Amino acid sequence: MAIASYDELKTQVLKYMLREGDPVLTAVIETVVAMAEGRIDDALLGEVAFDPLSDAAPTNDILAKAPSVYLHACVLEACIYVENHEKGTTHLSLMDTAVKSYNRKRRLTTIAAQKFKLPGAVV
């Protein structure tokens, strides 16, 4: 999935919601992203610090490594806003799967880095 920036994320959320150009959802899309970031932080249990997205900071580590986490969290928040609970339930499940995958990859990377650390090596 190619979502590399804050603007691309906002565009994809509107597309997933089938509401591209909708002035109501477009007006709150930045709030939707901010609410999703709170949900992402909760899902990651605060173990991963990340900077919130904005026009001044259009990307961060999570968006770069796991854009599906952001996408599904944002679509979920948009569904809550427009009261589409059925679609929201689907994206909650997809977000949970994406978070688990991100956490698994992060743990494997950490384990691999520790495994190959040479005693006495200067880093």
Tell whether 122 is covered by a domain.
Answer: no
* Amino acid 109: pLDDT: 76
Overall number of domains in the chain? 1
Tell whether 79 is covered by a domain.
Answer: yes
Please state, in angstroms and rounded to a whole number, the distance separating the CA atoms of residues 46 and 10. 24
Q: Which domain holds residue 47?
A: 6-108
Tell whether 22 is covered by a domain.
Answer: yes
* Amino acid 22: pLDDT: 87
CA distances to 3, 62, 106, 110 from 58, in Å: 11, 12, 22, 26
* Amino acid 113: pLDDT: 64
Please state, in angstroms and rounded to a whole number, the distance separating the CA atoms of residues 6 and 58. 5
List the chain pLDDT tens, one digit each, 123 residues: 589 999 999 999 999 999 888 899 999 999 999 999 999 999 998 888 999 999 999 999 999 999 999 999 999 999 999 999 999 999 999 999 999 999 999 888 777 666 666 566 555
Structure pTM? 0.86
Instruction: Count CA atoms within 13 Å of residue 74 on its CB side.
Output: 30
Tell whether 117 is covered by a domain.
Answer: no
